[in-house]
Structure 1
């Protein structure tokens, strides 16, 4: 029987651009657009600026070995540019997610592949194929699990997937592709403790793994040998980091279904586990017209993973990262303001006593589902002070492939993200980026796109 490792290698090595159907190509473009938007918006976070300044101190590189830091006029060595961009993609919890895998597939993968492609002057087709393959690897690893996460899966699975994608972009042979993934496993990391505590290093775990994926591919390139059984060995990925109870079904999807087509948008910059509640509350408010001060309580019946990720109390002086993962705070924000945007986590919003008070009326309890990796179904019950009760069952959540975000809302999110950046990018430039991505499969050089991802269209190199 072919090993799991061999099946990944075969898929990455053998697949051709012509194997991508129109839906997969469109999905690659869609989530590349979304991820670039949230990545540029992420430059507004103070830690992003501090990480950039720190990375500048790590050294510079010439044009052929450097890449753009999105939303800035700075170029850094490829692995450092990937690290900063990965952090910016994930630091606001606004990046897309593959719900069955519980993996944010683009944060590690796109940041690493875009930096690599820019430095190598890669064409659009090569990037699209490498992106689709990398997402397949990461999400198949995620879908293999049948037990709750202990390690931070978006980082660990993302690192192995990104290393595979870079290896394909570099046209590595089978042995080198396997070594790239194996070496990535040997240095990947990140645990759920940062998520549990809601601390600022959480999105940095994505950044570490984007850097590590490039390092792994570099080392595979000069012949470093990693463990052959990096997935299935006694101390492999499926023994140490994740379970493999669903691996047979997950690996059967390779070559049959492109997983980029199963990725979900995030309409709100919060943990995806909170989106079922937010979607339901928006629908119920629209249908019944109640106001925040009419509410006696909000109860959410949710699967174990949802409760584990976002069922935490709101309190004064909570951190930004904690608030993004606090169901009471984000639900109260939506009920009071009508939406949850990136500004909902600015310090003045976090200190709003009305939000903190309403958050105390939001409660979560177990649903009938016992699936440790399910984000749906969820049921939201709103009880009003006059005795009225409204209920909404969410079999799928807004942004999921079964309940997709409209093209209009996708583009609005992108334009708003660019406008919210530390150095805002205007609508005219946003339209240029949209046009480039729409014809990405026709671009002779990915640099036609990367040149637009700055406040000015001509990035400058770091010289000191």
Structure 2
């Protein structure tokens, strides 16, 4: 179908094709580098998980060879295989970042795709960052234009929107012209999908991997001359109608380059390795316990008044698996209270049988009260929480948090980002290689070649 005016995908393609490093503000490039560092760290950790190992085994069975690195492995494979496997690893622990422009896990999909393609074409770190920004901003622009309708309907936005970001990043590194990027996007969008039924299962990480792989494959297909629909967004049978109930705000697309979605609403970096929906509540209860010096045996009940999004995401009140525990307010609260924090070590099947944790979990309750009838509050605090902590003495303490530590308004420091990276990477590749890799990544925005980043990264 030929359109009279440029379609949405044509607009994205032209903007992405024209984007140069000099057109990206230094603050945005710095944010991009932080996302790259954080995502590579959690990917290396995730490569050691059961689902990460499954994805790697399947990827290696494909027998394809290339320039692209599999994290925590000496193997080099094709760019599409690396994008799939490393993206699964990036999301395996649910420790990767999040953006409310679409409510997507952007980096877990875009970073592996961009890295894999960057290694194929022997890109520099500076080129990698530019491609990552192009992919992120295009994906977040579509997410913002969707006004979160598809997320509220039960679509898993990372699966639906992720191929857009990975496709644009891969296309930018291949230096495709606007016409070919438009075709690549058309192929990526018409083949996208994913539902939130995957939460608490291997499907969530595996679908992230498929989104990364799809973007890379569609870029490669378009580079060879494959054509996709120009109007994949606005077609009668396209994204807006079928995924988003006809809702779409084209102004979000028009703002590309003058507004940076990675800055506003921004990208949230996770402090603890569970669903972001629990983080604000955990921060609130930990603040109350520390401020008032509350002992665990004094706690009678903890009531978390949360917005509808949180209630729908944290569905496991009595988790039976590690994956279910990552979508449980009760588990996040109980572990944080008992151990003073929640780390990767606490994603342990044995802890689900711990009697003290079970007792704490039984005292944690979640509800969505009238507070959240306010649409403006739901928008400003989509995963916020008002926590009421009641003691056996009858005393009651209460605290509201709109966002969690690690959010745009309360970012983790450079030291905390580095510490998280080492905590994720060192158990898999050793402390020395992890420190070396972190040092290289911190100087990524320059002429260093992406192929050289991982040359000493070998499993212990």
Query: What is the TM-score normalised by the length of structure 2?
Result: 0.92
Report deviation, 1:47.
2.1
| Mapped contact 1:311–1:364 kept (Cα < 8 A) | no
Quote the residue 2:162 is aligned against. Answer: 158
Q: 1:182 aligns with which of 177, 186, 195?
A: 186
| Superposed displacement of residue 144, structure 1 | 2.1
Q: Return the offset for 1:448.
A: 2.2
Structure 2 Cα separation of the partners of residues 144 and 396 of structure 1: 22
Do 2:46 and 2:93's aligned partners in 1 also have CA atoms closer than 8 Å?
A: yes
2:108 aligns to what?
107
Larger deviation, residues 89-98 vs 236-245 = 236-245
Q: How does 1:395-434 map to 2 (within 5 A)?
A: 395-421=402-428, 424-426=429-431, 428-434=432-438
Structure 1 residues 327 and 136 mapped into 2: Cα distance closer, same or farther (>3 Å)? same
Match among 233, 238, 259 for residue 261 of structure 2: 259
SS at match of 2:213: helix
Q: For residues 315 and 396 of structure 2, what CA distance do their matches in structure 1 show?
A: 22
CA distance in 2, matches of 1:125, 1:244: 38
- Give the Cα separation in 1 of the matches to 2:249 and 2:420: 35
Distance between the aligned counterparts of 1:450 and 1:241, measured in 2?
39
Would you say the 8 A contact 2:167–2:215 is kept in 1?
A: yes
Contact 2:101 2:141 (8 Å CA) reproduced? no
Distance 2:179 2:254 in 1: 22
CA contact (8 A) 1:144 1:243 kept: no
For 1:218, the equivalent position in structure 2 comes to: 220
Q: 1:376/1:246 Cα in 2 relative to 1: closer, same or farther (>3 Å)?
A: farther
**Residue 394 (structure 1) shift:** 0.9
Higher relative contact order (CA 8 A, sep 6+): 1
State the match for 1:302 in structure 2. 306
Using the alignment, how far apart are the partners of 1:411 and 1:239 within structure 2?
A: 43
The SS at the match of 2:47 is helix
Contact 1:382 1:391 in 2 (8 A): yes
Deviations 1:340-390 (A, max 9, x none): 111212111122222223212211122433557752442111111111211
The residue number in structure 1 matching 2:372 is 369
CA distance in 2, matches of 1:149, 1:450: 40
Residues 2-81 of structure 1 aligned to structure 2 (within 5 Å) = 2-61=6-65, 65-81=66-82
Shift of 1:311: 4.1
Q: How many residues align?
A: 446
Per-residue CA deviations over 1:267-324 (Å, capped at 9, x if unaligned) read 0111111111111122222211212222111111111111111143114xx1222110
Is 2:125 aligned against 1:124? yes
Aligned residue for 1:40, secondary structure, equals helix
1:90-138 CA distance string (max 9 Å, x none): 0101001113431111111111110111122111121111100100111
> What is the Cα deviation at residue 2 of structure 1?
4.7
Say whether the 8 Å CA contact 2:187–2:228 is kept in structure 1: yes
* 4-13 or 213-222, larger mean C-alpha shift: 4-13
The gaps in structure 1 that reach 5 residues or longer are 457-464
Q: State the distance in 2 between where 1:246 and 1:297 align.
A: 43
Distance 1:434 1:77 in 2: 24
CA RMSD of aligned residues (A): 1.8
CA distance 1:84–1:145, change in 2 (3 Å): same
Contact 1:145 1:243 in 2 (8 A): no
Change (3 A) 1:246 1:287: farther
CA distance in 1, matches of 2:459, 2:447: 22
Quote how far apart the aligned CAs of 1:244 are: 6.1
Give 2:174's aligned residue: 170
Query: Alpha-carbon deviations, 1:179-224, whole Å to 9, x = none?
Result: 11111112222211112xx222111100111111111111111221
Question: Structure 2 CA distance, aligned partners of 1:425 and 1:144?
Answer: 43
Q: Could you tell me which of 235, 238, 241 is aligned with 2:237?
A: 235
Aligned with 1:390: secondary structure? strand
